[in-house]
Amino acid sequence: MGSADSADAAAPAGGTPEHRLPALPALLALPATPALPAAAARQGSGALATDGPLPGVGGQRLGLRAAVGTGGVGLVGVLGALNLLDNAERAVLIVLGPDIQRSLGFSDAALGGLVGLSAVILTAGAIPIGLLADRRRRTAIAAVAAALAGVFALLTSVVANTFQLVLARIGAGFGQAAVLPVHNSLLADGYPLHARTAVLTLHNLAGPVGLVIAPVTAGGVAALAGGSAGWRWAFVLFAGVLLLFAAIAAMLREPPRGRGERMEVLGAHGDPAGVTDPSVDAPSSIPLEIGAARLLKIQTLRYLFAAIGALGFALVGVPTFFNSLLEERYHLDALDRGLVGSVTQVGVMIGVVAGARLGDARFRRDPPSVLLFMAVAFAAHGVLLTVALTMGPLPALVGCVTVAEIPLGMVLVPLYSVISIIVPYRLRALGFAAVGVCVTLFGGFLGGVLLGDVSDQHGPRVALLALAGPASLAAAALTAYAARFVRADLAAVVEEIAEERAETLRVATGGAQPILQVRNLDVSYGPMQVLFGVDLDVERGEVLALLGTNGAGKSTLLRTVAGLEVPHRGVVRHAGRTITLDPPERRVRDGIVLVQGGAGVFGTLTVAENLLVGAHVLGRDGALVARRAEEVLDLFPKLRDLLDAPASTLSGGEQQMLALAKALLTRPEVLCVDELSLGLAPTVVAELIEVVAGLRRDGVTVVLVEQSVNVAAAVADRAVFLEKGRIRFSGRPADLLERGDLVRAVFLGTVGGPHAAATADGGPR
């Protein structure tokens, strides 16, 4: 929490102490679960400790009936049915593959390609669907996706040739791609945390159940219908049931996002003061690259994704080469291979049930231990599968592979539970979609290519032996490594929710709403952390100067406010709205504009062209652009004579003016300037100070990084001093001048260096 050390944490001049995060007292005042005061106490004592009450830790396991009762049978029932049907429908292709091949006349290789295509579409579709699901009503997306899967299953039943079949399968794949991101995210929000394992178990069981019942159902229907077109009726059957459940899914109620976590952290209802947090269900517009960057900054997830990617070699490659082995060595046809697949799914089902119980107990007791449990299961899967592959007789081979699937199944529910808790709830669907991408794209694709080659040269058994053990062991090692981060990542979840609620309550009880709020901000470049728990409020109309030692993180702070860096912890708010993961262009539209030090103009473009580029956010209204251009040229009259000159020919001061002019064209609400006066002549600096004073009179909020304490004193209402990524001082610039210990640090050894201008204008040495 507070990054300023207590001696230095002066109340901001423009912002009174009550504008600061009311961390401990406010949190303690919340009517909360017994867990919360302890968490709050730890927060108050500094960084949130990681051995405290964490979401999903402690408490009692709920029986299945009680767990389902907490959120109703409807959600898990309908989503489970859809998952079952999707899996079964996909399996029909394998089970009735020979009939379909005969009917449409295509080869074994084409059938294999079709099955592989489904896996790719399932993954590729999950990302856009996940992004959509983090923004829009997920129950509607689940319903539409199921309807799509149903319609394409129906179309599959009437295809006349292979090309039409491929198109139908692509459509069905997209429909089925919603399961991973949308279903899991809905289930996570639809039930309290202590019921999550149970509902995830039910949902995860539905998949293998679908695979097990597919051969019997599809085979039975095809046999009943008879003739060469019998297989078509199997698709008709699944299409009908899918469409029925799609209609039911459309009637499901959308659960509020993050409800489970908020209930756990904030109290029984997650809404202790009857205050609704407007940001919780506000539509988010987090773009893929920012969402992905945020997810990858969560250490536990980063290693888990790597583990899943490694496992993907086994998960995607093994069934493919196992099928080749069954065909080449044991001469099984497609139907028999489908049946073997169903038998091995029984192992997965046993594993899912056992793993859910064992994993849940471990997570409640000690979260890292669940990752170690998963690591052991991954390793066991690799070893058992390797042993199984050495078996000669078919029954021994199938039996041992089935046993090897048990530990794999054991991982599923604990893995999804951990991901559902650690991924920020606003990104949950994308987080689940990423699981599929890691499995299929990295492991699946690369593994397929590499091992196809091994298989061609040495046969499928050697390929499988080369693949299964190492892939699983790598996954085990990475998962075990992830265990060391899980406590801190869970603590960050608690902290984020508690802060969100404290802020909502603060505003609801009359607290002022600063134009800009930065809370608990941590930013890293790769492994190097640059900002540490920075808290900063900027009041509307305030001019704030950020000072500090070289490399203290001033530019990084401004870049994070402008959306150019993604923090790994903490919040940025603009006028009360959380914008932490908003893209930079949206922030510009909303009035937050950054002038970057030394990078504010395009050197090859003329001054006029630079202004036009700056005006692009104003749209195509030529009259408006002309009016605004006149305004900024009135502010910087020198630029009028230079309109046709390339920006690179301008002096440093003129370039800085052009950069400011570009930014001011948009009439920003918050203007951030990195290095306002660095390297500029005193007369130019004086002009810039005048401009900033004018902006203050117009009510523009200005945050500037400044090297000169004197310039800061001349323009700023408040100075904030950063050192090594922490705020060491916040107060009147004049008071900072009194702080020789801090101010000396800035200028030590820089005389005549890059900060010569600061000293030239009389700044302290």
Ligand X SMILES: Nc1ncnc2c1ncn2[C@@H]1O[C@H](COP(=O)(O)OP(=O)(O)OP(=O)(O)O)[C@@H](O)[C@H]1O
The residues binding ligand X (CB under 6 A) are 525, 530, 548, 550-556
Q: How many C-beta neighbours within 10 Å does residue 744 have?
A: 11
Can you tell me the distance from the alpha carbon of 346 to that of 205, in angstroms, rounded to the nearest whole number?
A: 10
Closest distance of CB 743 from ligand X, Å: 14
Of the pair 210, 563, the CB lying nearest ligand X is at 563
Closest distance of CB 287 from ligand X, Å: 20
Of the pair 279, 529, the CB lying nearest ligand X is at 529
Of the pair 160, 528, the CB lying nearest ligand X is at 528
Can you tell me the distance from the alpha carbon of 88 to that of 491, in angstroms, rounded to the nearest whole number?
A: 40
Closest distance of CB 758 from ligand X, Å: 11
Residue 347's nearest CA partner among 416, 413, 415, 410 is 410
Closest distance of CB 693 from ligand X, Å: 24
Return the amino acid letter for 203.
Answer: H
Pairing, β 592-595 against β 670-673? parallel
Of the pair 156, 560, the CB lying nearest ligand X is at 560
Of the pair 316, 720, the CB lying nearest ligand X is at 720
Of the pair 258, 553, the CB lying nearest ligand X is at 553
Of the pair 369, 550, the CB lying nearest ligand X is at 550
Of the pair 236, 564, the CB lying nearest ligand X is at 564
**The tokens 């592989």 sit on which residue?**
116
Of the pair 472, 555, the CB lying nearest ligand X is at 555
Phi-psi region for residue 667, left (φ > 0), alpha (ψ -120 to 50) or beta? left
Can you tell me the distance from the alpha carbon of 629 to that of 637, in angstroms, rounded to the nearest whole number?
A: 11
Length of the chain: 765
Pairing, β 516-525 against β 726-731? unpaired
**The tokens 């932490």 sit on which residue?**
580
Tokens of 97: 């593959």
Which residues are bridge partners to 606 per DSSP? 646
Closest distance of CB 730 from ligand X, Å: 16
Of the pair 267, 548, the CB lying nearest ligand X is at 548
Can you tell me the distance from the alpha carbon of 339 to that of 219, in angstroms, rounded to the nearest whole number?
A: 11
Distance of CA 131 to the CA centre of its chain: 9
Beta carbons of 244 and 84 less than 8 angstroms apart: no
Of the pair 201, 524, the CB lying nearest ligand X is at 524
Tokens of 199: 């509902």
Closest distance of CB 716 from ligand X, Å: 16
Q: How many C-beta neighbours within 10 Å does residue 63 have?
A: 11
- Terminal-to-terminal C-alpha distance of the chain: 33
Closest distance of CB 558 from ligand X, Å: 8
Residues ≥6 apart with Cβ < 8 Å to 381: 314, 404, 405, 407, 408, 411, 472
Phi-psi region for residue 528, left (φ > 0), alpha (ψ -120 to 50) or beta? beta
Of the pair 486, 536, the CB lying nearest ligand X is at 536
DSSP H or E stretch at residue 421? helix 394-422
Of the pair 341, 553, the CB lying nearest ligand X is at 553
Can you tell me the distance from the alpha carbon of 626 to that of 615, in angstroms, rounded to the nearest whole number?
A: 9
Can you tell me the distance from the alpha carbon of 545 to that of 722, in angstroms, rounded to the nearest whole number?
A: 11
Closest distance of CB 555 from ligand X, Å: 3
Of the pair 517, 560, the CB lying nearest ligand X is at 560
Closest distance of CB 525 from ligand X, Å: 3
Of the pair 279, 750, the CB lying nearest ligand X is at 750
Beta carbons of 79 and 203 less than 8 angstroms apart: yes
The CA-based dihedral angle spanning residues 172, 175, 177, 183, taken in that order and rounded to the nearest 10 degrees: -140
Beta-strand runs (E) in 256-362: none
Of the pair 313, 721, the CB lying nearest ligand X is at 721
Return the amino acid letter for 575.
Answer: A
Closest distance of CB 544 from ligand X, Å: 15
Cα maximum dimension of the chain: 96
Closest distance of CB 524 from ligand X, Å: 9
Can you tell me the distance from the alpha carbon of 633 to that of 143, in angstroms, rounded to the nearest whole number?
A: 55
Closest distance of CB 492 from ligand X, Å: 21
Tokens of 373: 């449990």
Q: How many C-beta neighbours within 10 Å does residue 344 have?
A: 24
Closest distance of CB 295 from ligand X, Å: 20
Closest distance of CB 96 from ligand X, Å: 55
Closest distance of CB 747 from ligand X, Å: 12
Return the amino acid letter for 493.
Answer: V
Closest distance of CB 552 from ligand X, Å: 4
Beta carbons of 437 and 126 less than 8 angstroms apart: yes
* Secondary-structure breakdown of the chain: helix, strand, coil percentages, each rounded to the nearest 5: 65, 10, 25
Q: Give the SS3 label for residue 546.
A: strand
Residues 105-111: contacts with CB under 8 Å, at least 24 apart: 105/162, 106/162, 108/327, 108/334, 110/162, 111/334
Q: Is 83 exposed, middle or buried (0-12, 13-18, 19+ CB in 10 A)?
A: buried
Of the pair 50, 550, the CB lying nearest ligand X is at 550
Q: What is the DSSP string of 436-462?
A: HHIIIIIIIIIHHHHHHHHHHHH-HHH
Of the pair 99, 674, the CB lying nearest ligand X is at 674
Closest distance of CB 592 from ligand X, Å: 18
Closest distance of CB 530 from ligand X, Å: 4
Pairing, β 670-673 against β 516-525? unpaired
